[in-house]
Amino acid sequence: MTARKFLYWTIFILILATAVFIYWKFIFTYSEGNRSGLLQKFSYKGAIFKTYEGELILSSIRSNQEVTLASEKFLFSVPDKALAEMLMKLEGTMVILHYREKNGSLPWRGETVYLVDSVTPAPEATPGP
């Protein structure tokens, strides 16, 4: 094998490995699902790249007065402007978010690896007997 042929194969393998890594890190969907909770915060922020970022409170234990006693925050990004405007109107309400989790984040796509692609207002909870 000549040195030139070896160099071509090395460059080809490096380009292929880089393409596979970029696909796995930023395009491949690791998981997807739904999260429901109180949409506590939603904002448009960033120093160089402005992105829509939100905070959902996932309640695990509630009291009799519908007050959350134990909770966890779910931080997410929204790449779609129309969906972001809908979420701004739903701030402070119970919602169900559908998200896709990526293996890495890109600065122009959002700060988190969780990208929300749809939202549904949560049905009103009916009180028990």
Look at residue 58 in the predicted model and tell me its pLDDT: 87
pLDDT tens digits, one per residue of 67-123? 556 678 999 999 999 999 999 999 989 999 999 999 998 888 889 999 999 999 988
Considering only CA atoms, which of 93, 99, 98 is closest in space to residue 123? 93
Give the count of beta carbons closer than 10 Å to the beta carbon of residue 97.
Answer: 24
pLDDT tens digits, one per residue of 25-38? 999 999 999 999 99
Look at residue 115 in the predicted model and tell me its pLDDT: 95
Token reading at 124: 């009103």
Q: Quick one: what percent of the chain has pLDDT higher than 90?
A: 67
Look at residue 128 in the predicted model and tell me its pLDDT: 47
Residues 6+ apart with CB under 8 A from 59: 37, 38, 68, 70, 71
Residues 6+ apart with CB under 8 A from 81: 52
- The yes or no reply on domain 30-121 and CATH 2.40.50.140 is yes
* Model pTM score: 0.79
Q: Spell 77-90 as b/e; 16+ CB within 10 A means b.
A: bbeeeebbeebeeb
Q: Where are the domains of the chain?
A: 30-121
Look at residue 110 in the predicted model and tell me its pLDDT: 87
Whether 7 has a pLDDT exceeding 90, the answer reads: yes
Pick left, alpha or beta for residue 20 (phi over 0 → left; psi -120 to 50 → alpha; otherwise beta): alpha
Confidence of residue 3 (pLDDT cuts 50, 70, 90): confident
Angle 71-82-35 (CA atoms, 0-180°, nearest 5)? 25
